[in-house]
Chain A
Amino acid sequence: MTVIESKAADPKLAEGKAPPSGLSEFWFYFSRNKGAVIGLVIFLIILFVAIFAPFVAPHSPSVQNRDMLLVPPVWQAGGNWGHILGTDAVGRDILSRLIYGARFSLFIGLVVVTLSVISGVLIGLVAGYFRGRVDTFIMRIMDIILAFPSLLLALVLVAVLGPGLLNAMIAISLVNQPHFVRLTRAAVMTERTKDYVVGSKVAGAGTLRLMFLTILPNCLAPLIVQATLAFSAAILDAAALGFLGMGAQPPTPEWGTMLAEAREFIQRAWWVVTFPGLAILITVLAINLMGDGLRDALDPKLKRS
């Protein structure tokens, strides 16, 4: 019983009678990871800015001001407070374009991750649970997809489907999905033969219950990390596709497309290239940090008890 008593030092458990609700328990463990909290705060700011873009942005993202071409940011000689981060080659306010661009990036990340996680986990679960021929068949297809350089495959897909944001998102999810399939399959295979799964089976659990309620939750930890990584990878891939002219089309203020348009001004006007790049970097970093904390909070084995 000594084991239990030493656990009582944990403030949440010391209260004893009323078990902490799911959310407060989650926050308790999540908030211990400083990096994750910083990531979350940055992510929330970006999210807020994206949602309320029309109110936050000082200018319209597509209005061209012919008197103000390539105005430098406010702290440089020649900058002015009207355009805090300066303007691009056709006189559009960069800050406003970044703010509106956050909408696209978050949307891309969300859609791509949702699509690839749902399909990848389902396929991986089936492959790992049933094994045999189903498994071989699925995994060979995934191997084929993985054998292509991912950006190239996405590029080909977009070329076939036609350039555009939606097709880019579909292509990126397809390219991302085999990672989820493999990860899920591997995790399911190790969990499947464990005693608690057999025990659940002996208690009468059916195939679906075993797959989704018993095995899947135990495979989630690596999947969550992979999902956050995929979220940022999707933003990067979309930016790359945009840069190559296959993603969002101008004048959409998508960050990658902005980079592509600014390519020729790298020497003359650094701010046109730097700020979209920084926006991508900060967003990706924040999401990765958050993913780390999410895993810590959701995996009871990692909880400090």
Chain B
Amino acid sequence: MTPVLEARNLKRDYHIPGSLLKKGKTVHAVKGVSFKVEQGKTLSIVGESGCGKSTLARMVTMIDPVTSGEMLIDGQKVDIAAEPLSSDMRSKVQIVFQNPYGSLNPRKKIGDILTEPLIINTKIPAAERRDRAMAMLKKVGLEEKHYSRYPHMFSGGQRQRVAIARALMLNPRLLVLDEPVSALDLSVQAQVLNLLADLQEEFHLTYVFISHDLSVVRHISDDVMVMYFGEAVEYGSRDQVFNDPQHSYTKTLFAATPRVDVEAIKARLERRKRA
């Protein structure tokens, strides 16, 4: 079976133009990353801020072009620098952003936000668009009465549900989740994560889940990739990475996660007593 997303040696450079006193320089944001994701699976990308996670997400979502390397979606090669995307390709990958307060157009009603992708990409008549948006609204746990409200009338968790609904309107194959829950409080995080899991099952979605929260990653992912300064330092199945980290950065990262199991607490108390 061809993987939904396959990346071969992806690179992305940003060129900072020089000025009179400074020479221009090139920043390598992503330095050759390869991975693939099968349908219905979740790949988590973990790393500290500035390690290239979001750049990678923008490349996968085809917002920014790839500097070098190959990206295949459903076995088809994509390069937005070379040719404009077909709407078919566009609708295959959608994204959910980190900040639900900035990702919805404040001037549009929820209904218009949800139907916009259909208006752009399809020729579905207005009545059916409305029905589909209503159905999607219910799928993500909102109600019909929310259809004609503005984004500012919703809480963060509800907005993130709307953002997820919008991403799903085009029936994408791949959903890129760029830290979708890190702006939400804990109980809402769990709700949204469960929603994502339910939707994945229902639509056979493939997720690329970007996060710095290891407990969330452990909960949701099949495969894990750890990034460090633009490079993938660890890539493997979840259990493999979590149980047997190879790279020193991964080890530090796991050690930095607060642990709350009984053994760990006992050990900590023991240490404190001795000190």
- Chain A interface residues toward B at CB < 8 A: 3-4, 7, 13, 16-17, 19, 194-196, 198-206, 209, 214, 217-218, 300-301, 303, 305
A305 and B145 contacting across the interface, CB-CB below 8 Å:
no
Nearest B-chain residue to A219, judged by Cβ: B107
A195 and B117 contacting across the interface, CB-CB below 8 Å:
no
Complex A-B, nearest 6 residue pairs according to Cβ-Cβ distance, in ascending order? A19-B148, A195-B103, A203-B117, A195-B102, A204-B90, A195-B97
Does any Cβ of A come within 8 Å of B105's Cβ? yes
Cβ contacts under 8 Å, A209 to chain B: 120
Where chain A touches its partner, the secondary structure class is helix
Partner of A203, one of B90, B97, B153, B158: B90
Q: Mark B93-130, 1 if CB is under 8 A from A, else 0.
A: 11101010011111100000000110011000000000
B107 and A199 contacting across the interface, CB-CB below 8 Å:
no
Number of interface residues of B (CB under 8 A): 35
Cβ contacts under 8 Å, A214 to chain B: 105
B63 and A205 contacting across the interface, CB-CB below 8 Å:
no
Nearest A-chain residue to B155, judged by Cβ: A3
Partner of B152, one of A17, A199, A217, A301: A301
CB distance from B187 to the nearest CB of A (A): 13
CB distance from A6 to the nearest CB of B (A): 10
Nearest A-chain residue to B104, judged by Cβ: A196
B121 and A300 contacting across the interface, CB-CB below 8 Å:
no
B145 and A199 contacting across the interface, CB-CB below 8 Å:
no
Known: A195-B99, A196-B102, A300-B107. Is A202-B61 also a contact (CB below 8 A)?
yes
Known: A198-B63, A199-B166, A300-B106. Is A305-B153 also a contact (CB below 8 A)?
yes
Cβ contacts under 8 Å, A19 to chain B: 148
CB distance from B242 to the nearest CB of A (A): 31
CB distance from B66 to the nearest CB of A (A): 16
Does any Cβ of A come within 8 Å of B91's Cβ? yes
Known: A195-B99, A195-B103, A217-B107. Is A204-B150 also a contact (CB below 8 A)?
no
A199 and B153 contacting across the interface, CB-CB below 8 Å:
no
Cβ contacts under 8 Å, A206 to chain B: 120
CA distance A130 to B146 in the complex (A): 35
Cβ contacts under 8 Å, B107 to chain A: 217-218, 300
Cβ contacts under 8 Å, A300 to chain B: 106-107, 150, 152
Q: Mark B133-159, 1 if CB is under 8 A from A, else 0.
A: 000000000000110111011110010
Cβ contacts under 8 Å, A7 to chain B: 153
Does any Cβ of A come within 8 Å of B208's Cβ? no
Cβ contacts under 8 Å, A196 to chain B: 102-106
Does any Cβ of A come within 8 Å of B224's Cβ? no
Partner of A204, one of B87, B99, B106: B87
CB distance from B194 to the nearest CB of A (A): 16
